[in-house]
Each structure stands twice: as structure tokens, then as C-alpha cells.
A and B are shown apart, each in its own frame.
Chain A
Amino acid sequence: MLDDFMTRASLAGVGVAFAAAPLGCFVVWRRMAYFGDATAHAAILGVALSLALQMSIFVGAVAVALIMALTVTLLAGRGYAMDTLLGVLAHSALAFGLVAVSFLSGIRIDLMAYLFGDILAVSRTDLLVIWGGAALVVALIAWRWSPLLTTTLNEELAYASGIDPKREQLILTLALAITVAVAIKVVGVLLIAALLIIPAAAARSLARTPEAMALIAAAIGAVSAVAGLRVAYVFDTPAGPSIVCVAAVLFAGFSAFGWRGRGGA
């Protein structure tokens, strides 16, 4: 069954969607959309370093994404607005990454594959990494769900309940770095944030509780992955962007439906 490249691609897409959905909800609730972008852009530098040092791309991408996320957390609130800081770090990391790649003369790499993903080339090993990473992220978030939610609502409330918001933020950052690293192959660096945010945003109008929103987002993400691949196959379009397009269409549909259902509120 795994011999079919379309089956492998679908499984990869669904795996990433499952990890991205609950994490994406927190990204949306905490207004961290650009944080996701920045972490993802930094990952290209991780890819370049991994290739230069001949180590696993997953490890390199996780490491750099994590360093990036920690740097942002550390620098936040020191004179620059968050969006400025993220803009500076995200785009410089991407630029340094692209320049670093050009030094790798001995190795032929397809840069486009990392910028836009190459889900159709997913191997059995890749699948193992993606599902392993996704399981880790889902487990991490499920384990810390309640403290994360409390921290998101109000930090003082979290402290008073014996929760350390800084620790929860760190867990979220770690989960983000892992998700970015496993998603590189599927949608590429430039579209990872879309896979985080769009399904979560689409689920908003259908959900009444945080848990429902995460589950609906997972379903929307998985449907987008499978349907997007189908679209790519039928119309011969690029796979990663097609997945994001399907998610965007679902978002538009559900939002319109949600507004109507709530009488314009």
C-alpha cells in the first residue's frame, strides 16, 4: 500500500494536519501567526546547515527553528515591537539560509523543494519522521492542554493555579519547532504557517469550546490535505499550494456560513 506515492503523500499530509491543528489553535488564540512564519523561515537556514554538516535535515531544522523561537521570546519587550522583531529575524534567517545554501557547491539541492515542499516525493522514512513528530506534538499538547489554555486566557490566573506560564510558552515553542520541521517536506517553508492558521481559523465559526475547535481544525486540515492532493493530481498543479488552496476555500465557506448562522454577529 505504501508503494503508491499518492498514498504516502496523503498520509504525510494528514499527519502534518493532525499536529498543526491543535497547535494552530494556540497560534491563533495567542496571536502568534507571525511567530509561526518566523520559525518556519528560520528553518531554511537549518536545512542549509544540515546539508553542510551532513546530518538529518529534521534535526537541523528543529534546532534552528527552536533557537529562533527562543531568541524571539528572549528579545521580546526590549524596545522593539513584536512584529518588527519577528520581521527582522524571519527574513534575515531566510536570507542567511538562502546565501548559506549557495555555498554548498558540492551538493546539488533543489531549493524549491524546501521552499514549497515536495510532498509527492515523501519516502517511507519521511513518513516515519512526520508521523513520529506529529505524534510527539499531539501528545505534548494533549498533556499540557489545560495549563496551556489557562496561560492563554490569563497569565495571573495561571500563576494563581500553580502553573508557570513561561514553561508553557516554552512547550508551545518546542511544539512549533517540531511541527515546522516535519512540515517542510509537505508544504515547504513558505506555506507552513498557512497550514497552522487556516484550518484553525476555519474551525472557529463551527466551534463552541476550545477542544471542539482543535478537533474540527484537525478534520479540516486532513480533508484539505487529501482533497488538495486530489486537485493537484487531476489538474496537474503543485501539491503543497493546492492543499493550502483547498483549506482557504473551506475557510471562506465556513466563515460565510458561520456569520449567516449567527445573524451577522
Chain B
Amino acid sequence: MSLITVDNLSVRYGANTVLSHISLAVEPGEIVTIVGPNGSGKTSLLKAIIGATKPWVGNVRLKPGLRIGYVPQSLHIDATLPITVERFMGLTDRVDRQDCAAALEAAGVPDLLKRQMSQLSGGQFQRVLLARALINRPDVLLLDEATQGLDQPGSAAFYQQIEDVRRATGCAILMISHELHVVMSASDRVICLNGHVCCEGTPAVVASAPEYRALFGTGTGGALALYRHDHDHDHDHEHDHSHSHEAAE
């Protein structure tokens, strides 16, 4: 079975529907990217997958025994909480020092073991988060805007790292991003989200979809805009945000 199966999921906060009728699946070893504008429910979807948000309708099924490596959007460590990188790496499971050092090495930040988390730079911090998520050999890695606060070379290097991880470990990756051109090229499959699944497919297919271009404009398509595909799904949906597909046509 798929690692993660989301079946007809709707999520509500109060009277506000943030996700409606989402269905998707993540298969072993693939890189799936979710793109969408602010408020499109990207983070809510990820939260529903890890169980932090209860579905209103539908459900999320995880493969039994699935190991999830999670890299949060931001992680604020209170100044009153002393914690070394080594201790942070073993936060949820005991790990020995060698595994810990190896994971940091693989994430491109060796020699940080004894440093305080609060002393790391933004790039080092994100890489330590990634190393921690990878240390227990997850079946799937979930990343929520994991490059926030990094500059462009920094985030490009970070995504390169993620591809390397997939190549080395074969773990599936589901990530959220709004850095479209960087992310799209590194993905096997892109899901364009705006409260519902607008369109999905290979990066090329999504980049040329009218729904996608309505949300992000035509400029982001770049070379990918060469590809066209016929898009005929029905866009008559019941929730209250509206986006005009005609704008970009």
C-alpha cells in the first residue's frame, strides 16, 4: 500500500473550511511537493497527516509502522532551555554518538555535536533539523517550508541535500514550499493546492496548467512553460475562497 493515503479529507477551523475533498497518496521513494499561495491549507494538510489536526470529513491512513521524519517550518527554542546539538539529535529516540556524528556529517554540518542549538546560524539549524529527522531512517520525510530564513544559495543547497538523501536512503519525501522554480525541478510530482487540489502531475504538467498559472502567474513557468497539457477538470467547488482562472488565460 501507499505510505500515506489521504482520502477525501476536509478540515475546518470553526466555520472556516480550509481544506475540502483532498485525496492524495505518497508512494515509496518519490518526492512530492505541495505548492500553493498563503492560506491555501498547505500547513493544515501536513498537520492532518501527522495527526495534529483532526479531519472534519474523510481520513488519513498511514502504512502500519510508518516511520515519519518531520522537519518543522520553524522551531523556536526558548533562551531558557539549554540544549546541545547532540542532545537534540536524540530527542525522541536514543541514539549513540557515532550515529549522531554520521547523520550530521551527511547533512553537511559536522563538528557541531557540542554546540548549543541557540548558537547555530539559520542554515546550520535547518540542517540539524534535517539530520535529526533522518537519524532513525524514516520511510517518509515531511518538510514544512524547511528553507524559511535561508538565502537562495542556501535553500538551493538544502534541496540538493534532500535529493541526495532520497538517492542514498530511498525514503519518500513530501514537502511544502513556495520557492517554486527551485522546488519544482527537484520533484517527481507536484500538487498545487488552494483549499482543494487545483491540479497535480509532473512539474512540467503543473507548471503549464491554467490553475497553476492563475495562482502564480506565467513568469514562474520559465522553460517548463513549453509544455502544454489539456486541463478539463471541473472547478465548481463549494468553499468560499475564489480564484480566477481566467486572469492568466
- Which residues of A lie under 8 Å from residue B78 when comparing CB positions? 29-31
Please determine whether B52 and A29 come into contact, CB atoms closer than 8 angstroms. no
- Mostly, the B contact residues are loop
- Which residues of B lie under 8 Å from residue A161 when comparing CB positions? 68, 70, 92
A30-66 with Cβ < 8 A to chain B = 30-31
B102-124 with Cβ < 8 A to chain A = 116
Question: A156-B70, A156-B144, A160-B68 are known contacts. Are A209 and B52 too (CB-CB below 8 A)?
Answer: no
B21 CB within 8 Å of chain A: no
Please determine whether B77 and A160 come into contact, CB atoms closer than 8 angstroms. no
- Which residues of B lie under 8 Å from residue A204 when comparing CB positions? 80, 82
- Which residues of B lie under 8 Å from residue A127 when comparing CB positions? none
- Which residues of A lie under 8 Å from residue B77 when comparing CB positions? 153
Cβ distance B4 to chain A, nearest Cβ, rounded Å: 12
Cα A189 to Cα B68 with chains together (Å) = 44
- Which residues of B lie under 8 Å from residue A122 when comparing CB positions? none
Please determine whether B82 and A212 come into contact, CB atoms closer than 8 angstroms. yes
- Which residues of B lie under 8 Å from residue A213 when comparing CB positions? 81-82
Q: How large, as a class, is the contact surface on chain B? A: 20 to 34
Choose among A29, A153, A159 the residue that contacts B91 (Cβ–Cβ < 8 A): A153
Cβ distance B157 to chain A, nearest Cβ, rounded Å: 23
A133-178 with Cβ < 8 A to chain B = 146, 149-150, 152-157, 159-161, 163
Q: How large, as a class, is the contact surface on chain A? A: 20 to 34
Cβ distance A251 to chain B, nearest Cβ, rounded Å: 13
- Mostly, the A contact residues are helix
Question: A150-B91, A150-B92 are known contacts. Are A159 and B52 too (CB-CB below 8 A)?
Answer: yes
Cα A56 to Cα B142 with chains together (Å) = 51
B75 CB within 8 Å of chain A: yes
B209-237 with Cβ < 8 A to chain A = none
Please determine whether B82 and A210 come into contact, CB atoms closer than 8 angstroms. yes
Choose among B52, B69, B70, B81 the residue that contacts A152 (Cβ–Cβ < 8 A): B81
Please determine whether B142 and A209 come into contact, CB atoms closer than 8 angstroms. no
Choose among B52, B75, B80, B92 the residue that contacts A28 (Cβ–Cβ < 8 A): B80
A260 CB within 8 Å of chain B: no
- Which residues of A lie under 8 Å from residue B50 when comparing CB positions? 156, 159-160
- Which residues of B lie under 8 Å from residue A108 when comparing CB positions? none
Cα A207 to Cα B51 with chains together (Å) = 34
Most buried by A among B52, B75, B142: B52
Please determine whether B91 and A209 come into contact, CB atoms closer than 8 angstroms. no
The 23 sampled A-B contact pairs (Cβ below 8 Å) are A29-B78, A146-B91, A150-B91, A153-B91, A155-B52, A156-B70, A156-B72, A157-B92, A159-B47, A160-B50, A160-B68, A160-B69, A161-B68, A163-B92, A204-B82, A207-B82, A208-B82, A208-B84, A209-B83, A209-B87, A210-B82, A211-B87, A213-B82
Chain B residues within CB distance 8 Å of chain A: 47, 50-52, 68-70, 72, 75, 77-78, 80-84, 87, 91-92, 116, 142, 144
Query: Top 10 closest A-B pairs, CB basis?
Result: A160-B70, A159-B52, A161-B92, A160-B50, A159-B50, A29-B81, A207-B82, A209-B87, A28-B80, A160-B68
Chain A residues within CB distance 8 Å of chain B: 28-31, 146, 149-150, 152-157, 159-161, 163, 200-201, 204, 207-213
Taking A152-B81, A159-B51 as given, write out 12 further A-B residue pairs in contact, using a Cβ cutoff of 8 Å, ordered by the A residue number: A28-B80, A149-B91, A153-B81, A154-B72, A157-B75, A160-B50, A161-B68, A161-B70, A161-B92, A200-B80, A204-B80, A208-B82
